[in-house]
Chain A
């Protein structure tokens, strides 16, 4: 089946720092999705990418769909405490293992 490799598994950063996480796959995807999950909640869509090479921003979040359609990254700039959570990439319909982000004030 399709496997998504997401890294890093976890990150501990200071408030104000920038963050980068990525996903790779051996399979080609037509859509890459990035989600955030808070404890006890369902995943919430952050950014959807539909075209190879597409770079999309949503506030302090920026994500890119790799040219090969096998990878994607998510950047968070100027992190704040409420960025804490687990970030998942998804290549329809499967999810990566998640990146757990901790932001220290």
Chain B
């Protein structure tokens, strides 16, 4: 069964550093998403991406965040100047138009 692949599975970074989280969506999906889940809390929508541009973003997705599809297969989330409160699981998901989302296994980001 097709999978969404996320790397790395765990990233530790120092406060103030930039991180890039990587995702390989399912190949025939057209919509891509990033979500964040702080430990024990709800899954929070960050951003959706379609046709090489952001289609929707939440209030969490401020100037600290950016997304990119650098090639035909990867979808990245960049977090600049990380803060302690950015520590969370970050999930990538992809979908066909109007379809259910398939989630990756997540990247656990720890900011120290």
Interface residues of chain A, those whose CB is within 8 Å of chain B, are: 1, 30-31, 33, 35, 37, 41-45, 48, 50, 88, 90, 93-98
Task: Assess the B43–A93 pair: CB atoms within 8 A.
Answer: no
Q: At the interface, yes or no: B44 with Cβ under 8 Å from chain A?
A: yes
Tell me what chain B mostly uses at the interface: helix, strand, loop, or mixed. Answer: loop
The reply to whether A43 and B91 contact each other, CB–CB distance below 8 Å, is yes
Q: How many Cβ-Cβ contacts under 8 Å join chain A to chain B?
A: 48
B55 CB to nearest chain A CB (Å): 9
Q: Determine if B56 is an interface residue (Cβ-Cβ < 8 Å).
A: yes
Q: How large is the interface on B (under 10, 10 to 19, 20 to 34, 35 or more residues)?
A: 20 to 34
Residue of A nearest to B43 (CB): A95
Q: Are B56 and A42 in contact (CB under 8 A)?
A: no
Nearest chain-A residue to B106 (Cβ)? A42
How far does the Cβ of A58 sit from chain B's closest Cβ, in whole Å?
11
Closest 3 CB pairs of A and B: A42-B103, A48-B100, A95-B43
Would you give the 0/1 interface string for B83-109, flagging 1 where the beta carbon is closer than 8 Å to chain A? 000000001010000111111111000
Question: Is B33's CB within 8 Å of the partner chain A?
Answer: yes
Across-interface contacts of A30 in B (CB, < 8 A) = 98
Q: Which residue in A45, A50, A93 is a CB contact (below 8 Å) of B33?
A: A93
